[in-house]
Amino acid sequence: MELKIALLKGDGIGPEIVDSAVMVLEKIAKKFGHTFIFTPYLIGGCAIDETGMPLPQETVDGCMASDSVLLGAVGGPKWDSLGGDVRPEKALLGIRSALGLYTNLRPAKLYPALRNASPLKDEIVGDGFDLLIVRELTGGIYFGERGLREGRFGTEAFDTEAYSITEIERIGKAAFEAAMKRRKSVCSIDKANVLESSRLWRKTMHELSEQYPEVHYTDMLVDNAAMQLVRDPKQFDVIVTSNMFGDILSDEASQITGSIGMLASASLGASKRGLYEPIHGSAPDIAGKDIANPIATVLSGAMMLRYSFDLNKEADAIEAAVDRVLEEGHRTADIIGTDKSRTPLGCSEMTKKILKVI
C-alpha cells in the first residue's frame, strides 16, 4: 500500500515529536510492506515567519491532496502579540474547516505501568483503563445563534444549542464504527431529562444503534457521566457526545490518566482523510533540548493507521511497542514522577526504544 501523508510539524517541540512519529511509521511500513510518502508543509508560527500567514494556501492544498495529515503543535510566546486573525492557533481552526472535520476522537488510556500517575485510587483504576471519547466538533452551542437582548432582568446574553438529525447521525456513526474496532460498546451522553436537543440526540442515537446489533449501546446523563468517569472509568469503551459535553468530559478523562504527554487525538470528517495530533501544546521552553515526550505523537500515528487506513495490525504493533517500553521502565522526564532511581530518556532515546521493540 502506498499512502501520502502531509506533515505539519509546526512550532516548539512540534518538529522533534513529528520526526519521531515519522521514524516509527517508516519502521512499520518496512515491516508490513507499505510505502508512506511524507511531505512537510508550513503551519502556525513558522508559517507566519515564512509567509506572513499561519495557514498558507499551499498547506491547505497539500493536505487536501494527501491521504492523511500528521500535526505536531503550533504557537509560542514569539507570536503572542499578534492579532487574533493571524495568530498561529488560527491555523488549527482553518485546517479543520478546510478538511471538513466534524468528529474528534480522544483516547484516554491509563497504562498499567503508569497507574501510580493517576490521581484515582488503585482500587478504582486496577490495571488501568482504555476509553475513547467521540466528540461532535462543528455543531451545538459553540456554533449556535448567540447575542445580547433585553430580558426579564435587563440585558442578558444567550447561546443556542441546536443539533440536526444529520449532525447526530454522522457523529453517531463515527462512534459505532470506532466501537467495532474496539470492545463493541457505546455509551451516548446527553441531558435528555432537561434539553430538547438532547431528546432528539437520544432518539436518533437509539435508532442508529439498531444498525449495529453487535455493539452494546447505553445512554447516560452528562452529570452522571462526569461522576462515573472518576468512580469507575473501566466501565467505558466508547463515549459519544455533543460538542460542549465532549469538551468538558474529554478534559476530565485526560486528567485521570495522569499524563497529558501520552494522549493522542484524531479529527475526522466524511472522507478517510483525518488530522492526527497530540493533545499537548508546543512547549517552547523545552524545544530543541531533546527532552520532549514523543509518545503522544507516535500514538497519533497509530490512530492514523487505524482510522484513516484500516491498518489495524500495524496500529496494534505501535501500541504494543509503547506498552512494552513502558513496562520495561523507560520514561521521559514528564512521566518519571518521583522515582529518583530512574534516569529520564530524551525524545530521541525514547523513540529508539520504541523502534527496537517494533
Catalytic machinery residues: 142, 191, 223, 247, 251
Decide the pairing of beta strands 264-269 and 274-278: antiparallel
Residue 55 DSSP symbol: S
Name 156's bridge partners: 149
Name 135's bridge partners: 104, 241
DSSP-derived secondary structure for 316-338: HHHHHHHHHHHHTT--BGGG-TT
Which residue type does 150 have? E
Q: What number of residues does the chain have?
A: 358
Closest C-alpha to 280, from 267, 295, 291, 290: 295
| Cα dihedral across residues 305, 179, 109, 241: positive or negative | positive
Tally: H helices and E strands in the chain: 12, 12
Q: How far apart are CA 254 and CA 313, in angstroms?
A: 26
Closest C-alpha to 296, from 129, 107, 53, 117: 107
Q: What is the C-alpha R_g of the chain?
A: 21
Helix (H) / strand (E) element for 220: namely: strand 216-221
Q: How far apart are CA 80 and CA 233, in angstroms?
A: 37
